[in-house]
Amino acid sequence: MSIASSGMLVRLHINTWTAEKLDKTQTERVLQENNAESDAGKFKKNLMSGSKLVKELNNQVTKVRHWCDRQTMPWEHRGANYLPTSLFMEFKQGWNKRKADLERRADEIAENYAALKETAKHTLGSMYCEEDYPTAEEVRAKYSFKVYFTPVPESGHFAIDLAAEELEETKRSCDKLIEERVAEAHRLSWQKLYDKLKDMSDRLVDDPDKTRRWHDAFVDDPLELCKLLKHFNVTQDPDLEAARLRLENAMRGIDLDSIKGSALVRADLKGKVDSIIKSFDW
């Protein structure tokens, strides 16, 4: 099965409002007071000062972007990511849930905009300027949350008519690009697995002089990685699948309480993790 038939490209398009505004008056004042040059800095004020709705939405957008990156593999530089077809429904459901949350937050900002401005008026003091503020409708229009799915390009599929020689050269270029992307996705799969194993091994070292803090992520993250690597083994590498299975089996029956409460459990898990690291050529 080709890479094109087993997956698709995902493009995340998210636009938000920063609620920041360059204050030229305050910038000039600060520069003059400090006898600084004009390029020494700029003063930006927070138009939503005193409230958290805009900041919380933007923080959530960052989390959504990170979630998308974890569910996919890089394909284009600062562009589309690769999503296996087998993960499409799960990804779509996860995106729909997150998009609904972002839309709700954007609606909340627009609906409470007048009150948010009133709060900012008190916290900004003399820096408040009514002309700085767009309307509630304009603010809401600044928020857009979309995802686009497109096919992976295949060699020989072109929308323009080229001469035979140019067409063959373009095909070769396309083939090379796809090979490079597949090789990079394969390398990243191995790298993610190694990084997780190395991190686990380091954290499982029992040091009486160091107090460890254990979180759910220590158990959840390896299991999530194992699930994703099952889909992202784009070259069907048997060694990668074997390493993935060994980590999955090592985590079987492990929970946070056993990790926290038993040095024997930690030592046994570390032994299994170290064995996986030594068994493969990373």
Mean pLDDT of 112-133: 95
Least confident range from 76-80, 83-87, 120-124: namely: 76-80
DSSP secondary structure string for all residues of 52-99: -HHHHHHHHHHHHHHHHHHHSEE-STTS-EEEEGGGHHHHHHHHHHHH
pTM for the structure as a whole: 0.71
The pLDDT score that the predictor gives to residue 159 is: 43
Tell whether the model's pLDDT for residue 162 goes beyond 60.
no
Q: Which helix (H) or strand (E) holds 26?
A: helix 24-33
Q: Which helix (H) or strand (E) holds 138?
A: helix 136-141
The pLDDT score that the predictor gives to residue 134 is: 95
The pLDDT score that the predictor gives to residue 156 is: 46
Tell whether the model's pLDDT for residue 202 goes beyond 80.
yes
The pLDDT score that the predictor gives to residue 226 is: 95
The pLDDT score that the predictor gives to residue 169 is: 58
Tell whether the model's pLDDT for residue 168 goes beyond 70.
no
Sign of the four-CA dihedral 147, 152, 157, 162: positive
